[in-house]
């Protein structure tokens, strides 16, 4: 695909290749875009995929498809970004969809500002047949982008459109497996010129799989993600917020470990949570940890 095509956009769709109906819906929403040449690039990650589904997609000339052995949405996004040859690119989860005029509305912004690197749009959520605005007061509530992303991430996977020549693959290479869109938002708003528009681009379909995972892996990943964000900024106000969040995340790790009777991990995370201002909030937890180590202590007063 030629780079000089003004309205060509690759939409990277990471998928495990097991949800046939929703994946087809996502692909069709890309092909149905008005005013742009949108190419669905399906990135099948892992080895659990439905072979018949993937075979049918390989036979579809309207769809580009690649497979990677590593399972995970972040590796899939990176692999897809490496394959982009169009002027713009975007992402779409395999259970979501774009509105027919969505990409054209975002890409219009790039024509208006040749220095723009990314456009971030609003959209809809859908749950049990009811549709609602994904963000309320989208522009007004996000004037300080690096600060606001710490309270409400304004970038969804389907919400960003990027200029290919100015947002390189390296930005997506080392995104974590958890909270990756928060990390991406925090990064791009400090390194690139972007614009938020309160136009509707996507529909996010909510279901049971959208419930936040509270697995040990997820809980343990949060402090490391916050450490990474701290290393990206020199703003004292943001660093203070991130350190407070890090203490809270470490406290959650300690409580998770205590519930699983992993006292070594519980003590390690608890002591880490007391750094900076954390001791003011979480010092009381020391008593609970000691009680767990004393026979009958959890029942004592």
Domain shared by 28 and 123, yes or no? yes
C-alpha–C-alpha distance, residues 106 and 99, integer Å: 11
Residue 163 confidence (pLDDT): 97
CATH number where 74 lies: 3.90.550.10
Express each pLDDT in 20-39 by its tens digit. Answer: 999 999 999 999 999 999 99
Decide which of 181, 210, 239 is a domain's last residue: 210
Percentage of the chain with pLDDT > 70?
Answer: 84
pTM: 0.82
Domain shared by 187 and 232, yes or no? no
Structural domain contains residue 2 = no
To the nearest whole number, what is the mean pLDDT of the chain? 85
Domain shared by 190 and 282, yes or no? no
Where are the strands (E) in the chain, listed by range? 8-15, 37-45, 64-68, 88-91, 97-98, 118-127, 130-133, 160-163, 194-205
| Confidence class for position 2, pLDDT limits 50, 70, 90 | very low
C-alpha–C-alpha distance, residues 226 and 244, integer Å: 10
Which of residues 294 and 239 earns the better pLDDT score?
239
From residue 195, give the alpha-carbon distance in Å to each of 36, 121, 142, 155, 280: 20, 9, 11, 11, 39
Structural domain contains residue 39 = yes
Structural domain contains residue 241 = yes
Q: Which residues pair with 30 in a beta bridge?
A: none
Q: Say if residue 222's pLDDT is above 60.
A: yes
Structural domain contains residue 115 = yes
Residue 276 confidence (pLDDT): 58
Domain shared by 176 and 290, yes or no? no
Q: Give 134-137 contacts, CB < 8 A, sequence gap 24+.
A: 134/159, 134/202, 134/204
C-alpha–C-alpha distance, residues 225 and 227, integer Å: 5
Q: Which two structure tokens, joined as six digits, stand for 154?
A: 């304004």
Which of residues 264 and 216 earns the better pLDDT score?
264
Domain shared by 195 and 274, yes or no? no
Residue 27 confidence (pLDDT): 98
Residue 293 confidence (pLDDT): 47
Domain shared by 235 and 187, yes or no? no
C-alpha–C-alpha distance, residues 171 and 71, integer Å: 19
Q: Say if residue 52's pLDDT is above 70.
A: yes
- Specify the range with the lowest mean pLDDT, choosing from 5-14, 59-68, 223-232, 270-279: 270-279
Total domains in the chain come to 2
Express each pLDDT in 198-210 by its tens digit. Answer: 899 999 999 745 4
Structural domain contains residue 3 = no
Give residues with Cβ within 8 angstroms of 238, minimum separation 6.
146, 147, 150
Domain shared by 115 and 229, yes or no? no
Structural domain contains residue 27 = yes
Which of residues 255 and 225 earns the better pLDDT score?
225
Domain shared by 141 and 162, yes or no? yes
Structural domain contains residue 54 = yes
Q: What is the DSSP letter of 15?
A: E
Decide which of 178, 210, 242 is a domain's last residue: 210
Domain extent for 267: 216-299
Residue 260 confidence (pLDDT): 73
Domain shared by 88 and 176, yes or no? yes
Residue 290 confidence (pLDDT): 43
Express each pLDDT in 132-142 by its tens digit. Answer: 999 988 887 77
Percentage of the chain with pLDDT > 90?
Answer: 62
Question: 88-119 b/e with 16+ CB inside 10 Å = b?
Answer: bbbbbbbbbbbbebbbbbbbebbeeeeebbbb
C-alpha–C-alpha distance, residues 97 and 125, integer Å: 10
Q: Which residues pair with 119 in a beta bridge?
A: 161, 195
- Specify the range with the lowest mean pLDDT, choosing from 109-123, 141-155, 195-209, 275-289: 275-289
Residue 278 confidence (pLDDT): 43
Give residues with Cβ within 8 angstroms of 41, minimum separation 6.
10, 11, 12, 13, 63, 64, 65, 66, 80, 83, 84
The DSSP element (H or E) to which 31 belongs, if any, is helix 20-31
Residue 271 confidence (pLDDT): 78
Structural domain contains residue 1 = no
Express each pLDDT in 96-118 by its tens digit. Answer: 999 999 999 999 999 999 999 99
Q: Say if residue 4's pLDDT is above 60.
A: no
Whether the CA torsion 277, 281, 284, 290 is positive or negative: it is negative
| Confidence class for position 194, pLDDT limits 50, 70, 90 | very high
Domain shared by 257 and 172, yes or no? no
Q: Say if residue 171's pLDDT is above 90.
A: yes
Residue 24 confidence (pLDDT): 96
Domain shared by 18 and 167, yes or no? yes
Residue 135 confidence (pLDDT): 92
Q: Which two structure tokens, joined as six digits, stand for 247?
A: 């203490």
Q: Mean pLDDT across the stretch 156-185? A: 94
Domain shared by 206 and 233, yes or no? no
Q: Which residues pair with 37 in a beta bridge?
A: 8
Decide which of 210, 230, 249 is a domain's last residue: 210
From residue 38, give the alpha-carbon distance in Å to each of 28, 45, 239: 10, 22, 40
């Amino acid at each position: 695909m030629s780079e000089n095509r003004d309205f060509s956009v690759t939409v990277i769709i990471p998928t495990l290749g097991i949800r046939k109906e929703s994946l087809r819906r996502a692909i069709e929403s890309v092909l149905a875009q008005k005013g742009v040449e949108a190419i669905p690039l399906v990135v099948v990650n892992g080895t659990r995929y439905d072979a018949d589904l993937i075979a049918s997609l390989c036979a579809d000339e309207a769809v580009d498809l690649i497979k990677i052995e590593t399972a995970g949405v972040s590796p899939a996004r990176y692999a897809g970004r490496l394959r982009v040859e169009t002027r713009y690119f975007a992402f779409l989860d395999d259970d979501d969809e774009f509105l027919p005029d969505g990409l054209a509305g975002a890409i219009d912004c790039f024509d208006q500002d040749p220095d723009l690197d990314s456009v971030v749009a609003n959209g809809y959520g859908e749950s049990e047949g009811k549709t609602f605005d994904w963000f309320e007061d989208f522009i007004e509530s996000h004037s300080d982008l690096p600060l606001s992303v710490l309270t409400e991430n304004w970038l969804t996977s389907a919400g960003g459109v990027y200029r290919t020549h100015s947002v390189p693959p390296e930005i997506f290479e080392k995104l974590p497996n958890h909270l990756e869109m928060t990390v991406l938002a925090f990064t791009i708003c400090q390194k690139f010129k972007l614009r938020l528009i309160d136009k509707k681009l996507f529909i996010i379909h909510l279901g049971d799989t959208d419930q936040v995972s509270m697995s040990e892996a997820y809980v343990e990943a949060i402090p490391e993600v916050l450490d990474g964000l701290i290393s990206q900024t020199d703003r004292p106000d943001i660093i203070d917020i991130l350190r407070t969040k890090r203490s809270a995340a470490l406290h959650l790790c300690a409580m998770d470990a205590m519930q699983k009777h992993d006292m070594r991990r519980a003590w390690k995370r608890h002591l880490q949570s007391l750094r900076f201002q954390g001791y003011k909030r979480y010092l009381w937890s020391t008593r609970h940890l000691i009680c767990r180590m004393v026979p009958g202590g959890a029942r004592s007063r």
